[in-house]
Structure 1
């Protein structure tokens, strides 16, 4: 029953946004993620994400990210990495972001029936070619995976973003909250695609924005 309650809570969060007036946008986000096991303990992760915004009419953001990780044990691993993000907003501003980050991954729950609950805590240092100062941000990702058939799992996650300082880029405090519900579909050994719905609520000093996103991610392990 606790697993079912967690699913319901995450699903409700994904489709619920504050009742205040807000801007809304439809997006399509695509992602490709590859994990390469260098040794039993050391791994490399690379990824690319393409985010089509403004009613999915244009490529609003391109993200390229890499990480080197170390498995402390079967349930805990740590890593550090670098990401380049090009944000092409509507209007004249284009932002080139160089992001360094560190993360801690912990498996909180694993049952014989295949239910897993995972946490990822990530600390980011964000610098921009067009801006001064470094923006510090903390984000905590919690994901639940529950078997719903012999080959498929329900995937649900929630991830709040907290700005740790105020800069020309970020406002400070809770800035973004993402919630996702989808289904994993295996394509081959160690390869799966996870389509689903993602809601991104952006908290702003003025009117908030809610992004309704068709999200499709491809995961590969080598």
Structure 2
């Protein structure tokens, strides 16, 4: 089995990125912050807006800023669909910065919901990535699965998710095939009605033609529902 495939399999088996695969990777420490707001326009229609600040290179600089919006429709209590737009400024060390305009569509399905409060949710997202510095359009598929398990009577929940990114074509910014795999584990902390903070550890494994990169990330997200 090729080395990079062995690394990915090892990452998945270790579970939610608690440890890096024992492979020759470039490592980086990140801090990612996120603010997410869901606004219920009607019982069926909602709007979601978010901002994410990603500090990279040993959390020394703002390497990426993401601003995203979406309009969603609830088909029923377990299924909803949505479409949106995101602007992403990526400012890596060395290469020139990229200004990305991303259009996307997504399908969200609740796969499991128990009387004890355990939930398992999936999100399938198709992205069309365009860049001011490039002429082509990059197509990408993301498959997100998240488990939430109650751990205290006060509403705290264990949160774990996995999300592989599949490049559907090869462009100046995409290599084609499996390109990124994210795994997260953390705890949901209720702050007030409709507001929660979710701190945790996120591992982002980036597959590259040369040496792969593994980002070890302290991730703190704020979720609000109105």
Fold shared by both chains (TM-score > 0.5): yes
The 3-state SS of whatever aligns with 1:121 is strand
Kept in 1: contact 2:161–2:183 (CA 8 A): yes
Q: TM-score, normalised by structure 1?
A: 0.94
1:104-160 Cα deviation digits (max 9, x unpaired): 000000000000000000000000000120000000000000000012000000000
User: Aligned partners of 1:160 and 1:132: how far apart in 2?
Assistant: 26
SS of equivalent residue, structure 2 residue 208: coil
Given the superposition, is the C-alpha separation of residues 163 and 106 from structure 1 closer, same or farther in structure 2, using an over 3 Å criterion?
same
* Deviations 1:176-208, CA, capped at 9 Å, x for gaps: 000000000011000000000000000000000
Q: In the alignment, which residue of structure 1 is the partner of 2:8?
A: none
List per-residue Cα deviations over 1:14-34 (Å, max 9, x = no partner): 124443211000000000000
| Partner Cα separation in structure 2 for residue 127 and residue 35 of structure 1 | 26
CA contact (8 A) 1:200 1:212 kept: yes
Structural RMSD (CA): 1.1
TM-score under structure 2 normalisation? 0.93
Match of 1:83? 86
Correspondence for 1:105: 108
Structure 2 equivalent of residue 188 of structure 1? 192
Report the counterpart of residue 158 of structure 2 in structure 1: 154
d(CA) in 1 for partners of 2:20 and 2:179?
14
Instruction: Tell me how far apart the structure 2 counterparts of residues 132 and 146 of structure 1 sit (CA, whole Å).
Output: 44
CA deviation digits over 1:77-123, x for unaligned, max 9?
Answer: 00000000000010251100000000000000000000000000000
Aligned-partner Cα distance in 1 for 2:217–2:87? 22
- Aligned partners of 1:10, 1:36: CA distance in 2, in Å? 37
Distance 1:47 1:125 in 2: 18
2:215 pairs, out of 187, 201, 211, with 211
SS of the aligned residue for 1:39 comes to coil
Which of 1, 14, 17 is matched with 1:14 structurally?
Answer: 17
Q: CA 1:10–1:190 in 2, change beyond 3 Å: closer, same or farther?
A: farther
Deviation for aligned residue 1:47: 0.1
In the TM superposition, residue 11 of structure 1 has moved relative to its aligned partner by: 6.5
User: Gaps (5+ residues) in structure 2?
Assistant: 1-11
CA distance in 1, matches of 2:97, 2:62: 12
Distance (Å, rounded) in 1 between the aligned partners of 2:75 and 2:63 = 37
Instruction: Note the residue ranges of structure 1 that are not aligned, 5 or more in a row.
Output: 1-8
1:65 pairs with 2:68? yes
Retained in 1: the 8 A contact 2:189–2:198? yes
Closer, same or farther in 2 for the Cα pair 1:208/1:21, shift >3 Å?
same
How many residues are aligned here? 214
State the match for 2:58 in structure 1.
Answer: 55
